[in-house]
């Protein structure tokens, strides 16, 4: 009965982010953007594998280029976002990605599509994603305020999980039924709709006061790095999330090759497998807040990781028949843990960061986390050539299964409540 009453806890209306018009606009825009990204996530490697006969190294390079921009410009973007208006940044990023993805079906229909063009689209759209992701995470605390922040993060992570399911499932179906270039065109349309939606954002947060006295960009970047890496709890959160992304990307880089060539399965099967991971993200996001209140915010990250993360070791067993379902279940559980981490971890780091550092904190995390995606793609491609696809899957699974350890051995494990300070202006 106690547990039932706890699960039925009536939310405080002040905690609802939906009462803010700008949050509703941002949520709709981000939903379209995530749907586009996840459809493209399936389409690009399948175009490379099926149409251009790309091997493990080329697929790894394609995946690496899609996230390499975070390593090159992620930190300066964070400092720059702290100085500027956010709505314009988000709109320009969406329009740029729409144009880039639209070039793929055009080149396909002109019979001129090459791996070089896919590389260029992956890299340039990744650069635009840097601006969109850092800008959207930085504007969120200013839109919803202190009381609604955790529920806003939960809503965003839930939406991302749903977009994983819908976008990757739809991407696989579109590739299978209508060809991969059509899937890329659908991504372009969704990005454009996202940009149009953002024009309805009415309360555009300005940069904090006193921008004329700000230090040089390089000094600001160092301040953001020092804040994250010099803080024991933030450092642990960053390391766990980085390892999680590294392991996941090593696995994801090899899955198209294994499904299409090794197991001779249709594109829809790969989309469904990836969608199962999205379902895990969704479950984790929905369970994050009640479990965090029950166990404590930090203890939730540590204990859930200990119990659930080892399920990633089921993924390399993937094969036709029952093992496909077993591997899918392991992937779903592993990403369920990721969904919980995303809600709780993002809320913790936002509450541990002063207002003037929010953009740089987000950019530092993005630099580390998405840099891990780039490294994971390269590592997956290299290992795929050296030890084979199946061996590479085992490497990724082990990394993913152990990713919770930095949080488990850090002060985060003992944190029951969110910090009282809040990063809003």
Q: What tens digit of pLDDT does each residue of 115-154 get?
A: 899 999 989 998 888 888 877 877 777 787 777 777 887 7
Q: What is the mean pLDDT of residues 368-379?
A: 82
Name the pTM for this structure: 0.67
Residue 9 has pLDDT above 70, yes or no: no
How confident is the model at residue 212, as a pLDDT? 46
**pLDDT tens per residue across span 262-296:** 788 877 788 788 778 878 888 887 888 788 888 87
- pLDDT tens digits, one per residue of 292-320: 888 877 787 888 888 888 888 999 998 88
Q: Is 70 or 338 the better-scoring residue by pLDDT?
A: 338
Domain assignments of the chain as residue spans, ordered by start: 19-202+217-414
pLDDT band at 396 (very low <50, low <70, confident <90, very high): very high
Q: Across residues 369-394, what is the average pLDDT? A: 86
Which of 40-44, 62-66, 160-164, 376-380 is least confident?
160-164
Average pLDDT of the residues of the chain:
79
Average pLDDT over residues 225-244: 86
For residue 360, pLDDT over 80 is answered with no
Task: Give me the CATH code for the 19-202+217-414 domain, please.
Answer: 1.20.1250.20
Listed ranges 23-32, 63-72, 275-284; the one with the highest mean pLDDT: 23-32
50: exposed, middle or buried (Cβ count in 10 Å: 0-12, 13-18, 19+):
middle
């Amino acid at each position: 009965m106690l547990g039932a009453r706890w699960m039925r806890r009536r939310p405080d209306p002040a905690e609802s982010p939906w009462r803010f018009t700008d949050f509703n606009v941002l949520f709709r825009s981000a939903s379209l953007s995530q749907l586009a990204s996840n459809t493209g996530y399936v389409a690009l490697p399948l175009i490379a594998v099926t149409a251009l006969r790309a091997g493990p190294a080329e697929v790894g390079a394609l995946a690496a280029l899609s996230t390499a921009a975070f390593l090159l410009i992620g930190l300066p973007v964070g400092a720059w976002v702290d100085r500027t208006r956010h709505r314009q940044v988000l709109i320009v990023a969406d329009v740029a990605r729409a144009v880039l993805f639209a070039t793929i079906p055009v080149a396909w229909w002109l019979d001129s599509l090459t791996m070089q063009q896919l590389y260029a689209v992956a890299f340039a759209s990744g650069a635009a994603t840097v601006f969109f992701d850092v800008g959207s995470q930085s504007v969120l605390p200013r839109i919803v305020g202190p009381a609604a922040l955790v529920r806003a993060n939960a809503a965003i992570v839930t939406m991302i999980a749903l977009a994983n399911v819908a976008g990757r499932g739809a991407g696989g179906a579109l590739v299978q039924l209508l060809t991969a270039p059509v899937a890329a065109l659908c991504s372009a349309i969704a990005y454009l709709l996202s940009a149009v939606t953002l024009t309805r954002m009415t309360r555009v947060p300005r940069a904090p006061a006193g921008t004329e006295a700000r230090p040089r960009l390089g000094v600001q970047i160092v301040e953001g790095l020092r804040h994250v890496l010099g803080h024991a709890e933030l450092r642990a959160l960053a390391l766990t999330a980085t390892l999680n992304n590294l392991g996941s990307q090593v696995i994801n880089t090899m899955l198209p090759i294994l499904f299409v060539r090794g197991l001779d399965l249709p594109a829809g099967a790969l989309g469904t497998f990836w969608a199962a991971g999205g379902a895990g993200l969704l479950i984790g996001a929905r369970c994050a807040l009640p479990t965090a209140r029950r166990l404590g915010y930090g203890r939730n990250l540590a204990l859930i990781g200990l119990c659930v993360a080892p399920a990633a070791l089921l993924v390399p067993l993937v094969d036709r028949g029952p093992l496909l379902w077993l591997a899918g279940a392991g992937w779903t559980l592993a990403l369920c843990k990721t969904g919980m981490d995303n809600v709780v971890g993002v809320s913790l780091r936002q509450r541990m960061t002063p207002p003037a550092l929010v953009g740089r904190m987000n950019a530092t995390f993005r630099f580390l986390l998405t840099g891990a995606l780039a490294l994971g793609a390269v590592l997956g491609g290299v290992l795929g050539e050296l030890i084979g696809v199946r061996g590479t899957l085992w490497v990724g699974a082990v990394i993913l299964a152990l990713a919770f350890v930095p949080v488990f051995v850090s002060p985060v494990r003992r944190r029951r409540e969110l910090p009282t300070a809040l990063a809003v202006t």
